[in-house]
Amino acid sequence: MKSKAKKRYSKSHLRSNRQRVGILLMFLTAVVFVIFVCRFSYIAHGKAYSVNLDAKLNQQVTHTKVIPAKRGAILDKSGTVIAESGNTYKVYALLKHQYPDDKRKVVRNKQKTAEILSRYLQMSSDEVLQRLNPQLKTTSQVEFGASGASLSLDTKGRLQAEKLPGIMFSTSSSRLYPNGTFASHVIGMVNVNNDASTSLTKVTGTMGLEKWFNGLLSGRNGQKTEKTDFFGYQLNGTKVKDRPVRNGGTVYTTLDTNLQSYLESMLNNVQDRFAPKELTATVMSAKTGAILATSERPTFDPVSQTGLSKWNSALTQDVYEPGSIMKIVTLASAIDSGTYRPNEYYQSGNIKIGGGTIYDWQRSGWGTIPLSQAFPRSSNVGMVNIEQDMGAATWQKYLHRFGFGTKTGITLPDESSGSIAFNGKLNQVSTAFGQAINVTVVQMLRAMTAVSNNGEMVQPRIVSKTVSGDGKVTNYGTKKLGRVIKKSSAEGVRAEMRQVVNATYGTGRVYKINGVDLGVKTGTAQVAGTHGYLTGSNNYTFSVAGMVPISNPKYVVYITMKQPQRMTEDPEKILNSIFTPLVKRTLALEGAQGVAVTPAEMPSVIGTNTVSAQQQLQKAGYKVTVVGSGNQIVQQQPVVKQQVLPGSRVILLTNGAMTMPSVLGWGKSDVLKLAQITGVSFTLRGDGFASAQSLKQGALISGDGGTITFSEQ
């Protein structure tokens, strides 16, 4: 009985255990199921292990393409391109194959390759040949430094036409400056970098107008965002999101390309011959403040940055003591305040005041002379007397009226304010003849507009208008700054500026131009050193300011030259080698006898037959010069669509060997075109028109174009 009862108990116990295990398993299954449901629900809502799965999936299927905006152009007043976006090219030579399956051709005849490359690069054939024979024999390819970089499309095309084995090219996005060195500190330059976030080239203005208008010129990149599957097909139910690209806007300057190019060539000549530490020249519209041409030395090429020795612009950032040009302001203030007594006599030579002695440039003076001669003779002592009659408080008031010590507001970056040292009597009177006061070129130009514009001062400007990428136009027209002096006061100053040129005792007689109604003021300011003013005949800032016609000025011309290192001629003659030709060219651009000449858009003859291209342009009224012996035109200067005056010279480059044309009778601006289209440097000597050339007509043009001599005819 016990065994049966025991068996029954065991079976019952086993059944009970099984039930418990079953219940436990069901419970665990239910728990796991609940956990699974919760987890599934959690994942269904887009999250797992703190990872947003929706975002992760969205990231995997969402693709965004950045569409780069094209940087806008900078143009001259007629719409001629000064700066634009494009590609440049670097040439390199493949000397040997790097890989067995490399099917590219290598350089075969190194001597011939060197001779042909030297025609297009700023290198001699020997220099090219040296590159083609590297010391390291395992070298597979070589480049040609700065001379082989930043090549234009035209130069690349001409080189490709030579069909030289082993000569290759690489392409890069760049900023193009078709005129080369051309108001470089004013136009500015850019940095070109790769943007890691977008893998695109990023161009940023770092100087001049490129920097000031960087936002407008840059535009805004576009974007295209869409969701696609593994094969690149758009997912159903999704939409493409587009943000349209907005290309950069356009900046229209007030510069005149013809006048600017002419100015650059003249400054090059003076820089080469006399080596001044600094040189500036500006032509400005007397009534509107529009700057038609401006340049400085030292300068640089904005593409290669060759010659870049200083970042500051001499027009707006460098400050200096203006010297006797300041006497224009002193005389204007004295006349306007009613304190000027032209018939009052004073003792010239020197004057003791404020614990110091002030001397005239001619230390012995001119005896006792009337104050009316102080300005034409550029007498410092006379200006001290005029300032003393005016009184320091009145003089200081006029200095502020003329804007000294304040920025002009021109659309260029980092403009300097200048400064006035008005503490103590010696400093006060020194400002009357341009010492103890620091100015910028643009401040002096602003002050001179009050005299040229009958008493109403206007703001100098380098930009006429901008057009944004979406078409918004912003005009930078004439900005009147208010009346500074009376009309009669301005007329009185201009009358004495005429005397500087015409009076027997005037300091500016060298600047007289027959048939031109001209007035000027000359300046000679000592250069300050660490321990006072420097001594020596060349340690000065020499300058001249002119207005033409002086009776009712249309133009203001201002030139400064600091410390010429080779002063082999009088400083007035050096300055006049720029001043007189510049005035003549400025007046000539108005057209004969005051009749305006309308420029026309230069047509394209690239790719056409040489003879037919020449006939087409001659029929249109241009002077045509062909360079080379080829039968097809590969390049032209002026470039296509540039605004060109009737009768201008057009230079055509053919696909044949470059040969020297006759340049006799050419002006420097035309020779500059020849240098630009051939890529060859010429040594220019003298002024006026070409009278001799060392490289004879028909000779092959190589790395050196020789010397071209100019003379007045």
Closest CA to 73 of 251, 337, 228: 251
Amino acid at 323: G
Closest CA to 259 of 587, 681, 684, 666: 587
Residues 244 and 262 in one domain: no
User: Tokens standing for 60?
Assistant: 């995997």
Reported pTM: 0.72
Strand, coil or helix: 696: coil
Length of the chain measured in residues: 713
The larger pLDDT score, comparing residue 704 to residue 182, is at 182
pLDDT bucket at 28, cuts 50 / 70 / 90? confident
Give every CB contact of residue 74 below 8 A, 6+ residues apart in sequence.
81, 82, 83, 84, 187, 209, 210, 217, 250, 251, 253
Above 70 in pLDDT, residue 82? Answer: yes
Above 60 in pLDDT, residue 55? Answer: no
What pLDDT shows up at residue 227?
65
Closest CA to 250 of 498, 464, 444: 464
Q: What is the rounded CA–CA span in Å between residue 610 and residue 616?
A: 10
Q: Judge contact between 287 and 554, C-beta under 8 A.
A: yes
What pLDDT shows up at residue 497?
97
Residues 238 and 314 in one domain: no
Cis peptide before 581, with omega less than 30 degrees from 0?
no
Is 66 a domain residue?
Answer: no
* pLDDT per residue as tens digits for the range 633-663: 888 888 777 766 667 789 998 887 788 888 8
Bridge partners for 85 per DSSP: 175
What pLDDT shows up at residue 294?
98
Mean pLDDT of all residues belonging to the chain: 86
Residues 552 and 653 in one domain: no
Strand, coil or helix: 702: coil
CA distances to 291, 306, 634 from 546, in Å: 15, 32, 43
Burial class (CB in 10 A: 0-12, 13-18, 19+), 585: buried
Is 648 a domain residue?
Answer: yes
pLDDT bucket at 598, cuts 50 / 70 / 90? low
Residues 548 and 628 in one domain: no
Q: Torsion angle, CA of 193/194/200/206, rounded to 10 degrees?
A: -20
CATH code of 546's domain = 3.40.710.10
| Angle, in degrees to the nearest 10, between helices 257-274 and 668-678 | 90
Mean pLDDT over 225-234 rounds to 63
Above 60 in pLDDT, residue 477? Answer: yes
CA distances to 5, 26, 225 from 19, in Å: 21, 10, 61
The DSSP element (H or E) to which 128 belongs, if any, is helix 125-132
Above 80 in pLDDT, residue 269? Answer: yes
Residues 435, 313, 411: CA angle, nearest 5 degrees: 105
What pLDDT shows up at residue 74?
96
Low-confidence winner among 73-77, 243-247, 700-704 (lowest mean pLDDT)? 700-704
Residues 170 and 219 in one domain: yes
What pLDDT shows up at residue 596?
40
Is 223 a domain residue?
Answer: yes
Low-confidence winner among 65-69, 277-281, 469-473, 636-640 (lowest mean pLDDT)? 65-69
Q: What is the rounded CA–CA span in Å between residue 50 and residue 53?
A: 9
Is 243 a domain residue?
Answer: yes
Tokens 């002086």 — which residue?
A: 550
**Domain count within the chain:** 4
Above 80 in pLDDT, residue 394? Answer: yes
* pLDDT per residue as tens digits for the range 398-409: 999 999 999 999
CA distances to 216, 329, 384, 469 from 251, in Å: 9, 33, 45, 11
Low-confidence winner among 52-56, 66-70, 148-152, 326-330 (lowest mean pLDDT)? 52-56
Cis peptide before 638, with omega less than 30 degrees from 0?
yes
Domain assignment of residue 31, given as a range: 2-45
Mean pLDDT over 349-377 rounds to 96
pLDDT bucket at 592, cuts 50 / 70 / 90? very low
Amino acid at 293: A
Q: Show which of 594, 616, 651 is a domain's final residue.
A: 594
User: Tokens standing for 131?
Assistant: 């590159």
Is 62 a domain residue?
Answer: no
CA distances to 17, 21, 24, 41, 595 from 28, in Å: 16, 10, 6, 19, 105
Burial class (CB in 10 A: 0-12, 13-18, 19+), 698: exposed
What pLDDT shows up at residue 252?
96
User: Tokens standing for 297?
Assistant: 């030395």
Residues 535 and 559 in one domain: yes
One-character DSSP codes across 255-271:
--HHHHHHHHHHHHHHH
Q: Show which of 594, 623, 649 is a domain's final residue.
A: 594
Q: Which of 261, 324, 348, 489 is catalytic?
A: 324
CA distances to 443, 477, 488, 520 from 335, in Å: 21, 30, 9, 18
The larger pLDDT score, comparing residue 215 to residue 195, is at 215
Highest mean pLDDT among 51-65, 225-239, 385-399, 648-662: 385-399
Is 617 a domain residue?
Answer: yes
Cβ–Cβ contacts within 10 Å for residue 13, how many? 10
% of the chain exceeding 90 in pLDDT: 54
Q: Judge contact between 209 and 249, C-beta under 8 A.
A: no
Strands 532-533 and 528-529: antiparallel
Residues 543 and 613 in one domain: no
Q: What is the rounded CA–CA span in Å between residue 543 and residue 539?
A: 13
Above 70 in pLDDT, residue 454? Answer: yes
Residues 608 and 642 in one domain: yes
Buried-exposed string 539-563: b where 16+ CB fall within 10 A, e elsewhere:
bbbbbbbbbbbbeebebbbbbbbbb
Q: What is the rounded CA–CA span in Å between residue 460 and residue 464?
A: 11
What pLDDT shows up at residue 99?
78
CATH code of 83's domain = 3.30.70.2110
Q: Is 348 a catalytic residue?
A: no
The larger pLDDT score, comparing residue 194 to residue 531, is at 531
Q: Judge contact between 174 and 201, C-beta under 8 A.
A: no
The DSSP element (H or E) to which 420 belongs, if any, is strand 419-420
Residue 701: DSSP 8-state: P
What pLDDT shows up at residue 192?
81
% of the chain exceeding 70 in pLDDT: 87
* pLDDT per residue as tens digits for the range 252-265: 999 999 899 999 98
Give every CB contact of residue 329 below 8 A, 6+ residues apart in sequence.
398, 399, 402, 447
Residues 313 and 446 in one domain: yes
Is 688 a domain residue?
Answer: yes
The larger pLDDT score, comparing residue 353 to residue 104, is at 353
Give every CB contact of residue 524 below 8 A, 6+ residues apart in sequence.
323, 324, 361, 378, 540, 541, 542, 543, 571
Q: What is the rounded CA–CA span in Å between residue 499 and residue 504?
A: 9
The larger pLDDT score, comparing residue 588 to residue 645, is at 588
The DSSP element (H or E) to which 157 belongs, if any, is helix 153-161
Mean pLDDT over 175-200 rounds to 83
**Cα Rg of the chain, angstroms:** 37
One-character DSSP codes across 11-72:
HHHHHHHHHHHHHHHHHHHHHHHHHHHHHHHHHHTTEETTEEHHHHHHHHHEEEEEEPPPPP
Residues 559 and 701 in one domain: no
pLDDT bucket at 372, cuts 50 / 70 / 90? very high
Buried-exposed string 272-288: b where 16+ CB fall within 10 A, e elsewhere:
ebbebebbbbbbbbbbb
Residues 538 and 664 in one domain: no
Above 70 in pLDDT, residue 595? Answer: no
- Output phi, psi for 663, to 5 deg: -110, 10
Is 58 a domain residue?
Answer: no
Residues 560 and 423 in one domain: yes
